[in-house]
Amino acid sequence: MSRTPWSILGIGRTADAAAIRKAYAARLKAMDVDSDVEGFAQLRQARDHALRLARNLAATAEPAQPEPGPEPKQGDEPEFGPSPDAPPRWTYAAPQLSGDWSRADLAARPGEPDDTTMLGRMAWAAAAAREGVSGAGIPLTTIDPFTAPFLPGNHTADDTLGLRPGETPAERLAILLDPERETAGEPLTEAEARQATRALRKILDDAAQAQITRAQQIEDWLAEVLARGWPRSAPLLEDANAAFGWEREWAAHDARPGVAFLGARLRGYRFQQSVLQPGHRYHKAWNELVRPGRASRFRMLRGPAQGEVDSLLRGMRQNFPELETHFAPERVASWESGNPFASGLLIFFGVIALSIVIALANGSSSRESLERDTRQAMQAAVPEAFGEGHDSSWLWDKQPELAGLLNAQARTLLENGDSEAAVVDKVVEIVRGRSFLNGRELAGGDLDTAMHLRLAQLRAAQSRSVAACIDVRNSGVLHGAIPLPEHLRGQERAFAAHLAETGRLGRPKGHGERSAMVPGRLIDQVVAATRLSRDTVQQAMSGKGDDAAGCAVTIALLDRTLAWQGENRREILMTL
């Protein structure tokens, strides 16, 4: 069945690109593409595949050591397998994780009889925009922000930029927006904003005059720096957007992740700017929600109308979820718990208040019961995720952001008619995802625990299906409904509680594509454990090949690496 590109092209294995093209041309002329669409697609694929193989062949045929490099390391090269033409070490391509906690939940939902859904993956950018992740979580191209692709002239004379001697505007901007910077949690100061704007203008001028390749590099670099630097980069977005026309791209289904991310943020930023104007429809509601503390019981007398707060929250969560971080969670919660007068206080307000309450009652009673159910579900879910002895108020105390997220998830599920059990599953899933994503960045025993749990999850998923296993590998999360042995659940809970206790269950920091060198000895172990061929293992490690092998190799590699005490242990674990 499986024909090689060479047999389709009708030539022998070769590194000669011209011969491949010639063979392709000859086959193409012999066929009628319009009546043999499949054949044409096959031929095209075979040609492209053969050209890729030819490039690799050519690369390995040539000794790739034109100049003397550092002394070759001793020891680990020779122990690698016998095949002479295989590269001495393989790079394991880590699957890209989709940011924070979970992918879109494609569970069935009643009441929408005439829609279709795609069996597949949602665009990352779209999901990210809705989940409100920080820019640091974006899987970009891992350009080092400090190695700008351009070094425009010598700007030392320009004091207005605040450049240090020898510093370029690009470097200045990268430093100002560096997410690792101490002040990264605060907006740019006025002086910083001035510097950043001037540096940006210089960079944009440079891009406008540059040739296409360089202009593209500048654009890619800038998109990355601005995305990573979000939200500090907010005041700079409009200028960059105007210069590169990102607005046209970000609505595209295949927009680059950085651009899509910035597009979604810029829309939110514009909304925020306008809502801060006193004339805005939701100005009052916004001001109310940003004040810390609980809402006043007498808010009905002054303050915004419940309807305004509701529609602001609804609209914002739908369109700019990241803006919710501006609100005081407690105040939001008290507004969402409904009308305070529906309880005991109404008698003090006599008939007028009563009539208002009746008008509101229908809306608020369902909201109230929803809040009650949410609280109840959370009471069941938190011990399930963190172990007995932990409750919602403990979580609000230790990790308020996570508590808010879980609460919102629970409410949404219940609102859609899901059961309490579904809420528990979801909460377990989110906590599990965060434990893994955060734990993986740690060192020592915590890293080991996180990866041991990950291994257990992958195995549990594998025993269900290959697809589930791949799903866990790619998303970083085992669905709450797939059972894990009870002793592992206990470990999982203890680990999550331990992380939460020390405040390490926050939004995971994202990272770009990761890779690590896998030593030959370790690969031998994986080959032995999986009983797959060396080629299959190699393919699986570089992210190719079929899913079953990919799953088995991931599990074996994780298992073996945990037992391994040699070099690169941590690096390899971090890619898994």
Partner 1 sequence: MLIGIDLGTTNSAVAIWRDGEAVLVPNALGDFLTPSAVSIARDGQAWIGRPALDRLATHPQDTATSFKRLMGTASTTRLGGKVYKAGDYNAEDLSALVLGALAADVEALTGERPTEAVVTVPAYFNDRQRKATRRAGELAGLTVRRLINEPTAAALAFGLQDKGDREPFLVFDLGGGTFDVSVVEMFDGVVEVRASAGDNRLGGDDFDDALAAMARPRIDPAHRLNALPAPQREALLKRAAETCRRALGTASEAEFALVLGEERLAAVITEAEFESACEPLLRRLREPVVRALRDCAIDASELSEIVLVGGATRMPVVRRAITRLFGRFPNASVHPDHAVALGAAMQAALVGRDAALDEIRITDVCPFTLGVEVAEQDGHGGLQRGLFSPVIERNTPVPVSRMNTYSTLGDNQKTLEFGIYQGEAREVRGNVKLGHIAIPVPPRPAGEVSAQVRFSYDSSGLLEIDVHVPASGVERNLVIVDEEDRPGRKELDSRRAALAKLKFHPREEAGNVAIMARAERCYEDHIGDVRQAIGHWITLFAGALDTQDPRRIADARAMLVARLDEVEIVTPL
What three-state secondary structure class fits 515?
A: strand
Q: Which of 69, 70, 72, 110 binds partner 1 (CB under 8 A)?
A: 110
Q: Rounded to the nearest 5°, which phi and psi values hold at 93?
A: -85, 115
Residue 431 touches partner 1, criterion: CB under 8 A: no
Q: How far apart are CA 255 and CA 252, in angstroms?
A: 5
Name the residue among 463, 439, 462, 460 with its Cα closest to residue 451: 439
Q: Which of 409, 457, 462, 475 binds partner 1 (CB under 8 A)?
A: 409
Tell me how crowded residue 473 is: count the other CB atoms within 10 A of its CB. Answer: 23
Q: Which of 58, 59, 61, 252 binds partner 1 (CB under 8 A)?
A: 252
Count the site residues for partner 1 by CB under 8 A: 64
Residue 105 touches partner 1, criterion: CB under 8 A: yes
**Subset of 115-144 contacting partner 1 (CB under 8 A):** 115-120, 122-123, 126-127, 130-131
Site stretch for partner 1 (CB under 8 A), options 21-29, 366-374, 483-491, 509-517: 21-29
User: Among residues 92 and 246, whose Cβ is nearest to partner 1?
Assistant: 246
User: Among residues 85 and 115, whose Cβ is nearest to partner 1?
Assistant: 115
User: Among residues 252 and 528, whose Cβ is nearest to partner 1?
Assistant: 252
What is the C-alpha radius of gyration for the chain, rounded to an integer number of angstroms?
A: 28
Residue 370 touches partner 1, criterion: CB under 8 A: no
Site stretch for partner 1 (CB under 8 A), options 50-58, 142-150, 315-323, 390-398: 315-323
Task: Output the smallest distance, CB 28 to partner 1, in A.
Answer: 5
Q: How far apart are CA 197 and CA 219, in angstroms?
A: 16
- List CB contacts of 148: < 8 A, sequence separation 6 or more: 168, 170, 171, 174, 218, 221
User: Among residues 119 and 563, whose Cβ is nearest to partner 1?
Assistant: 119
Tell me how crowded residue 4 is: count the other CB atoms within 10 A of its CB. Answer: 12
Q: Which residue has the tokens 């190719």?
A: 544
Tokens representing 262 are 């910035």
Which amino acid does the sequence have at 329? P
Q: Which of 412, 474, 491, 515 binds partner 1 (CB under 8 A)?
A: 412
Spell out, one character per residue from 476 to 495, where the chain touches partner 1: x when CB under 8 A holds, - when not. Answer: --------------------
Site stretch for partner 1 (CB under 8 A), options 70-78, 97-105, 229-237, 488-496: 97-105
Residue 559 touches partner 1, criterion: CB under 8 A: no
CB-based burial label for 500 (10 Å; 0-12, 13-18, 19+): buried
Peptide bond into 231 cis (omega under 30): yes
User: Among residues 2 and 213, whose Cβ is nearest to partner 1?
Assistant: 213
User: Among residues 361 and 408, whose Cβ is nearest to partner 1?
Assistant: 408
Q: Which of 274, 416, 502, 542 binds partner 1 (CB under 8 A)?
A: 416
- Alpha carbon of residue 512 to chain centroid: 9
Residue 318 touches partner 1, criterion: CB under 8 A: yes
- Alpha carbon of residue 161 to chain centroid: 34
Q: How far apart are CA 501 and CA 397, in angstroms?
A: 9
User: 3-state SS of 290-301?
Assistant: HCCCCCCCCCCC
Q: How far apart are CA 276 and CA 267, in angstroms?
A: 14
Residue ranges in 320-349 assigned as alpha helix (H): 329-336
User: Among residues 218 and 553, whose Cβ is nearest to partner 1?
Assistant: 218
**Subset of 31-90 contacting partner 1 (CB under 8 A):** 33-34, 37-38, 40-41, 44
Residue 205 touches partner 1, criterion: CB under 8 A: no
Q: How far apart are CA 552 and CA 556, in angstroms?
A: 6
User: Among residues 104 and 466, whose Cβ is nearest to partner 1?
Assistant: 104
Site stretch for partner 1 (CB under 8 A), options 68-76, 102-110, 164-172, 463-471: 102-110
**Contacts to partner 1 by CB under 8 A:** 18, 21-22, 24-26, 28-29, 33-34, 37-38, 40-41, 44, 102-120, 122-123, 126-127, 130-131, 208-209, 211-213, 215-216, 245, 248, 251-255, 317-318, 321, 408-409, 412-413, 415-416, 418
